[in-house]
Structure 1
Amino acid sequence: MDTSTIVILDFGSQYTQLIARRIREFNVFSVVLPCTTPLDQVKALNPKGVILSGGPCSVYDPDSPAADPAVLAMGLPVLGICYGLQFITHHLGGKVESAAQREYGHAEVAIVAETPLFSGLPSEINVWMSHGDHAVALPEGFELTARTPTAVAGIANEGKKIYAVQFHPEVAHTRQGMELLRNFALDICGATADWTPEHFIQTTVERVRAQVGEGHAICGLSGGVDSSVAAVLVAKAIGDRLTCIFVNNGVLRKDEFAKVQKTMTEQLGLNVVGVDASERFLAKLAGVTDPEQKRKAIGGEFIAVFDDEAKKIFEAEKAGGEEIAWLVQGTLYPDVIESSSVKGPSQTIKSHHNVGGLPADMKLKLIEPLRDLFKDEVRRIGRDLGMPEEIIERQPFPGPGLAVRILGEVTAERVAILQEADEIVVAEIKAAGLYRKVWQSFAVLLPVKSVGVMGDQRTYANTCVIRAVESEDGMTADWAPLPYELLRKISSRIVSEVRGINRVVYDITSKPPGTIEWE
């Protein structure tokens, strides 16, 4: 890669992706790798520096996650965060012990030594702590740089450019966290701020053009910002040799099939083929209640439908001497992270149809131009491509569609019920001027019925959940405190207008511990 890169080795922290996001806010490219990544693969990226993330384990546990200690001897600047500090201490001859009292939450840290990492920071900073172990003896050559009343909070070996902090500078709760990370990335590592939308567009277009050559590509279009930006990027590279296929999988939002085709052809000038495969998908989902099976069923059928459509287009193109060889998907970095255990010892949260379920014998090769991007970066790219705001600001919609917002079995009847409820939620959020202020807002249909009274008659109908969250990138999220009057209006409309629902509840769970989607 021809841009400055910071490598982040992941030891299982829930905040690792935030580290990557923060570094990119300085226009410096960052990549998250499992802590077990071989050293030669780290070196192959030619990084300017390495960050060791936090993690849930203890360094003295026999099965604790461990990077190759040689990463500390590469001659590159290193920043350890939380578990990263303990890893450095443990492997360079210091001592780590279980603390008598865990530090969790806000803490006041005193900076006790001048260091480039803390340049420009006040002598006392408010930080976010989350650890049960602490360093009790520093490795040779290290000095104490920061502390709380009860624990080591920062250490450094200036000669080796190895720094570490016990707190989490990547979270918003650490007020000077961005300044600290900027000091490390730009000043200590000497990274160049060249990870820009303009650079990304140029290099991506060149790479796709070289990949595809004289071939043709098919794009899996959903109508969301991810696949739309991916399609426009690829079209910029290969022009009319891109055919976009928009599949009605039976679990789209209300009237989505017609709306998306109109928008993509009239506003973006893309070549779009619409395929109504709703009956095929619903047949695959019949009787399926497990969320992972739903995702895999939709992912598998998605590829099968593409294969069928590709054959049709392939035969037409073949007559003209051309071949279709590529499938474009709008896969994002969080999809990759959550679908593979990049977090060292951590478990996969859930699979994503974009990065799983592809058959081994699939004839189409993949193009994933957005694979290294977070959602907000995709929106920046879309704006630089001149795409309309109504597409760029569209809230994320899951690949498996309403299937993962319908808990239990997915049927045509239940899809229709949720479509109506979801349309009311989105319409009222927009009318209140909050659509662009929340990350996602939608309805969920539960496999739960309850007794109600409507028109002096007893009812026994479905329960609907309203979900609205605030987030920067979807990796973490807080529930959105929607106004009571807005919630009242949404609830009243759903119960009055959607036959089959008689109770509406509001989800006030953040991520973590929950996820944004219910499945």
Structure 2
Amino acid sequence: MDQKASAKVLVLDFGAQYGQLIARRVRDLNVYSEIVPCDISADEIREMNASALILSGGPASVYAEDAPSIDPAIFDLGLPVLGFCYGHQITAVTLGGKVGHSEVGEYGRATITRTAGAKLFNSTPIEQTVWMSHRDAVSEVPEGFTVTASTDVCPVAAMECVERKIFTTQFHPEVKHSEYGQQLLSNFLFEICGLEPNWSMDNLVETMTAEFREKVGDDRVILALSGGVDSSVVAALGARAVGKQMTCVFINHGLLRKGEPEQVEEVFTKQFDVDFIHVHAEDRYAELLAGVTEPEEKRRIIGTQFWKEFFAVAQQLETDGKPVKYLAQGTIYPDIIESGARKTGGKTATIKSHHNLIPFPEGVHFDLIEPLDHFFKDEVRALGLALGLPGHIVFRQPFPGPGLAIRIIGAVDKEKLEILKNADAIVREELDAYNQRLFEQTGERNSEHSCWQYFAVLPDIKSVGVMGDERTYQRPIILRAVESSDAMTADWAKLPYDVLARISGRIVAEVPGANRVCYDITSKPPATIEWE
């Protein structure tokens, strides 16, 4: 097959905060890219038929005892190489250059001056703003390399060896703060590597369908279906790949939004040609969660019981003594990052454990199929459209697997669930209408001021109020509405006052047990989108 028609850019991950973002920026330019561990060998890269390599940043010093290294033979493969930050430094020391510890670090925006004729910087200004995050810096370039950019603090902000097609930068072109970063990536992919921008979601559908079918073979697979966009996309993909070999299993833990179990069953029994099982586990979850207040413990209980419920279904589906081998689920890349996991070999800090990443309990095992684990939420939506999913599923706002249990601060009980379900239904009704008005005005599904995710939170406190000239002592409702595209970062939505007033007025008037509404105006970071 022609290389240009099957281009694959591999991102070697050295534990970068922005590792998957690099792969994402390449895919934005219509070239396929995926993450691989930094300790991959030259032979493994050759077998993967890579077209080009990008070396990510990372938090370590190249001279630290446990610093990640790279197989030197990778630089002899003849493939074009682009390195950022740690990738810049590891290239230098591996090929005979030197890295030193600077007296002054650079963090955040910096101005570089690039040399005339530098291939990577073609069609960009001589001076430009970039995003730096380093204290170590290349002090001596390897033989055959030339310096192509510098700052007042960093003499080697970029270097290149045109003959070997190796180009590296100390800064991070993949972040939007580097104003010409995407142009640099474009220069690398198209001018230096000679690739064609011919990858699309349609290509991806064909590739992922074939991979799903090849992995499952003749075995049975069950799908952990929540009704959200992630698991729905996997459902559509699995149905396309293996048909009736897959059974969609919907675990109703009693923590879903008002009317949601009925909606999920309606969609997947009437609009999809798949086997569907609705497991009513409401009582089991209520018993397990009784009195539990710590968020991570809630997530652990919910996640562990999910595995047990799926395993029980799998045992019921055994045919001729042949067990269900695979479980498919809609894990996406932000889930992995927040849970502190990294499938490419590194490790990030645990922010919160996602229910679908809780380890299997004793006696339970599946081989997992997670076809979306390298993708961001907006990419998953685009994939859903390419698979032919209806818009009301594709653009359904995110909803966490543990459901309302992590939107009730403190212990979960029936009374709190009832309050929150009713308040949340009002929030969704009003903000659905708000988003629809914006869509009609702009013609854009996700316009500048539309809400990406919105919900109600029930805190574990009560406040004094007055209704009908009488004192009340009831619960406040916290409104959370954010703008985002990929769930990695989010800003609070700047909702019009009349919308906020209508939501507040309806909640205190229509929801027994609630007497106050507050609006969360914290972005991610420092907060997360969910409260627990």
TM superposition score normalised by structure 2: 0.87
**Aligned equivalent of 1:414:** 416
1:297 to 283, 297, 301: 301
Selected match of 2:290 from 277, 286, 293: 286
Q: Which amino acid aligns with 1:114?
A: G
Structure 2 distance, partners of 1:420, 1:68, is 57
Deviation at 1:495, TM superposition (A): 3.1
| 1:216-235 equivalences in 2 (<5 Å) | 216-235=220-239
- Alpha-carbon distance in structure 2 between the residues aligned to 1:292 and 1:247: 20
- Which residue of structure 1 lines up, in the alignment, with residue 494 of structure 2? 481
Partner of 2:332: 332
Match of 2:30 among 15, 27, 30: 27
* Contact 1:11 1:345 (8 Å CA) reproduced: no
1:15 aligns with 2:18: yes
Answering whether residue 440 of structure 2 is matched by residue 440 of structure 1, we say no
- Structure 2: runs of 5+ lacking an equivalent: 439-444
1:347 Cα offset (Å): 2.5
The answer to whether the Cα contact below 8 Å between 2:314 and 2:323 also exists between their aligned partners in 1 is: no
- Residue type at the aligned position of 2:56: S
Check conservation: 1:215, 1:324, Cα contact below 8 A.
yes
1:317-341 per-residue CA deviation (whole Å, 9 max, x = no partner) reads 55xx987443322222333444414
How far apart in 2 are the matches of 1:372 and 1:56? 21
Is 1:504 matched up with 2:517?
A: yes
CA shift digits 1:377-417 (9 cap, x unpaired): 22222212222100111112112222222232222322222
Separation in 1, partners of 2:462, 2:62: 48
Whether contact under 8 Å (2:317, 2:323) holds in the other structure is no
For 1:394, the aligned partner's letter is: R
2:426 to 424, 427, 432: 424
Equivalent in the alignment of 2:127: 124
How far apart, CA to CA, are the structure 2 residues paired with 1:40 and 1:451?
Answer: 68
Distance (Å, rounded) in 2 between the aligned partners of 1:210 and 1:14: 32
C-alpha contact 1:65 1:344 (8 A) present in aligned 2? no
Aligned ranges 1:304-383 → 2 under 5 Å: 304-314=308-318, 324-339=324-339, 340-341=341-342, 342=344, 344=346, 346-359=348-361, 361-362=363-364, 364-383=366-385
Closer, same or farther in 2 for the Cα pair 1:42/1:504, shift >3 Å? farther
42 and 281 in structure 1: CA distance in 2 versus 1, 3 angstrom threshold? farther
- Once residues 462 and 72 of structure 2 are traced to their aligned partners in structure 1, the CA distance between those partners, rounded to angstroms, is 56
Query: Is the 1:478–1:510 Cα contact (8 Å) retained in structure 2?
Result: yes
* Counterpart for residue 113 of structure 1: 116
Would you say the 8 A contact 1:467–1:507 is kept in 2? Answer: yes
Q: 2:396 and 2:263 mapped to 1: Cα distance? A: 13
Tell me the alpha carbon deviations over residues 61-111 of structure 1, each in whole angstroms, 9 at most, x when there is no partner. Answer: 445444455544544322222233233334444444444544333333222
**How far did residue 114 of structure 1 move?**
1.7
Q: Are the counterparts in 2 of residues 111 and 146 from structure 1 also a CA contact under 8 Å?
A: yes
1:396 corresponds in structure 2 to: 398
C-alpha distance in 1 between matches for 2:165 and 2:24: 23
Alignment of 1:449-464 (within 5 A): 449-464=462-477
Q: Return the alpha-carbon distance in structure 2 between the equivalents of residues 206 and 52 of structure 1.
A: 28
Give the percent of matched residue pairs that are identical in Structure 1 and Structure 2. Answer: 50
1:83 aligns with 2:96: no
2:441 equivalent in structure 1: none
2:176 counterpart of 1:172? yes
> Relative to 1, partners in 2 of residues 1:367 and 1:84: Cα closer, same or farther, differing over 3 Å?
closer
Match of residue 239, structure 1, among 235, 240, 243: 243
The corresponding residue for 1:187 is 191
Structure 1 10/265 Cα, relative in aligned 2: closer, same or farther at 3 Å?
Answer: same
Residues 59/241 of structure 1: CA separation in 2 closer, same or farther (3 Å cut): closer
Superposition CA RMSD, Å: 3.0
Structure 2: distance between partners of 1:241 and 1:34:
32
1:176-235 Cα distance to aligned partner (Å, 9 max, x none): 211111222333334454543222222333333344444443222111111112112222
CA contact (8 A) 1:5 1:191 kept: no
Structure 1: stretches of 5+ with no match in the other structure:
none
Distance 1:486 1:94, change over 3 A: farther
Q: Aligned partners of 2:78, 2:303: CA distance in 1, in Å?
A: 44
* Amino acid in structure 2 at the alignment position of 1:112: T
Alignment of 1:469 onto 2:472 = no
Q: Alignment partner of 1:447: what SS?
A: coil
SS for the counterpart of 1:448 is coil
